[in-house]
Amino acid sequence: MSSKTMLEAKNITKHYERKIALSSLSFSIKQGELVALIGPSGAGKTSLLNSIAGLIPLQSGELLIDEKPLSSYKKGKLFAKKVGVIRQQFDLIGPLAVIHNVLAGKLADWGVIKALFSLLLPRDKEIAIKALERVGLTDKTFEITSSLSGGEQQRVAMARLMVQKPEMILADEPVASLDPARADDVLAMLIKIVLEEKQTLIASLHSVEYARKYFTRIISLKNGEIFFDLPTEKVTDDLLAELYQLEGASSR
Ligand SMILES: Nc1ncnc2c1ncn2[C@@H]1O[C@H](COP(=O)(O)OP(=O)(O)OP(=O)(O)O)[C@@H](O)[C@H]1O
Ligand SMILES: [Mg+2]
């Protein structure tokens, strides 16, 4: 593993009105790490991922991506080469054919994508088809994206990410809407791609089982704070029980 620091969070704080979503978090993640973000509903996982993606502003603190402040990146291709996002809604354009959604990974701006959607250069086509092969969707290349099942759309989003090739991938509950067998498949596929491309992955998960199976480090959040941040093998059942314990049920 390289020693380059891909992400550094320094005392980041996020409020919504008076509700604290992230409370002065600090941590850093090295290039190539596979980090699972876990914790009860409302703990701040989505808020954290969305702040790193530059989608929501922080009240205080600083985020460094590849040693440069997040704010120094302009939205666009350069940032898209650093950070790629898989959200639950996948951000796919339903009425477009699968192949166009995959090629959108090469562009950073949906306005341009919509304008160019009918343009298919042979080289681009080859790149997209290769990515679709890797996710097992070649037979859907020219189908309308919205006609695919949730799991298939998740794989389209992954093929798009392969074309985008960002250094760091942020995935917010990437397998939440899938049946268990499919979820395991999709997650295994994501991890394989990330390892092959030497990317850094931060994924929020509701399944501790998947976090343990596929990730090398687990950061848990509770009430907007880091509850533990440990190599996977150090995460005990007791810690997990305490993490997910309901408010007021604590024996401490
Ligand atoms: N747009 C918003 N406006 C007001 N409060 C919000 C908003 N988004 C999130 N919150 C609050 O911030 C806190 C953290 O929410 P967040 O969505 O980050 O949690 P989460 O860990 O992703 O939860 P889940 O596991 O349910 O997805 C919650 O208390 C939530 O109610
Ligand atoms: Mg969430």
Buried b (16+ CB within 10 A) or exposed e, 241-251: ebbbeeeeeee
Phi/psi of residue 125, nearest 5 degrees: -60, -45
**Res. 198: pLDDT tops 80:** yes
Determine which residue's CA is closest to atom 31 belonging to ligand 1.
42
Please name which of 71, 61, 53 lies closest in space to residue 20, comparing C-alpha atoms: 61
Q: Which residue intervals of the chain are DSSP H helices?
A: 45-52, 77-82, 98-103, 110-116, 122-134, 150-164, 180-196, 208-214, 237-244
Ligand 2 centroid, distance to 177 Cα (angstroms):
13
81 phi/psi in degrees, rounded to 5: -80, -25
**If you measure from the C-alpha of residue 41 to the centroid of ligand 2, how many angstroms do you get, rounded to a whole number?**
7
| Best probe residue, ligand 1, of 14, 20, 45 (max atoms within 8 Å of C-beta) | 45
Average pLDDT of span 14-20? 92
Residue carrying structure tokens 């291709």:
77
- Residue list, CB under 5 A from ion ligand 2: 45-46
* Angle in degrees, 0-180, between the axes of helices 122-134 and 150-164, rounded to the nearest 10: 130
Question: SS3 of 77, please?
Answer: helix
- pTM assigned to the model: 0.89
What is the distance in A from the centroid of ligand 2 to the CA of 175? 12
| Residue owning the nearest CA to atom 4 of ligand 1 | 16
pLDDT tens digits for range 101-135 = 888 877 765 556 655 665 677 778 888 999 999 88
β-pair partners for 170: 85, 202
pLDDT category of residue 252 using cuts at 50, 70 and 90: very low
pLDDT (tens digit, 9 = 90+) per residue, 132-189? 998 889 999 999 999 998 888 888 988 998 888 899 999 999 888 778 887 888 899 8
Ligand 1 atom closest to the Cα of residue 46 is 22
From the list 156, 167, 171, the residue with the least C-alpha distance to 103 is 156
The residue to mutate among 19, 88, 208, having the most atoms of ligand 1 within 8 angstroms of its beta carbon, is 19
User: Cβ(45) to ligand 1 under 6 A?
Assistant: yes
What is the model's pLDDT at position 81?
87
Q: Which of 179 and 191 is assigned the larger pLDDT? A: 191
Q: What is the pLDDT of residue 36?
A: 98
Q: Ligand 1 center to residue 103 CA distance, Å?
A: 32
For the Cβ of 220 lying below 6 angstroms from any atom of ligand 1, the answer is no
| Greater pLDDT, 84 or 34 | 34
List the structure tokens of 37: 């973000």
What pLDDT, on the 0 to 100 scale, is given for residue 251?
47
Of 15, 16, 208, the one to substitute when testing ligand 1's pocket (max ligand atoms within 8 A of C-beta) is 16
Q: In what order do the strands lie in the sheet with 217-222?
A: 83-86, 168-172, 200-204, 34-38, 217-222, 225-231
Compute the half-sphere exposure of residue 92: CA atoms within 13 Å on the CB side of its CA.
Answer: 32
Ligand nearest to the CA of 37: 1
Distance 139 CA to ligand 1 centre (A): 38
pLDDT at position 225, please? 97
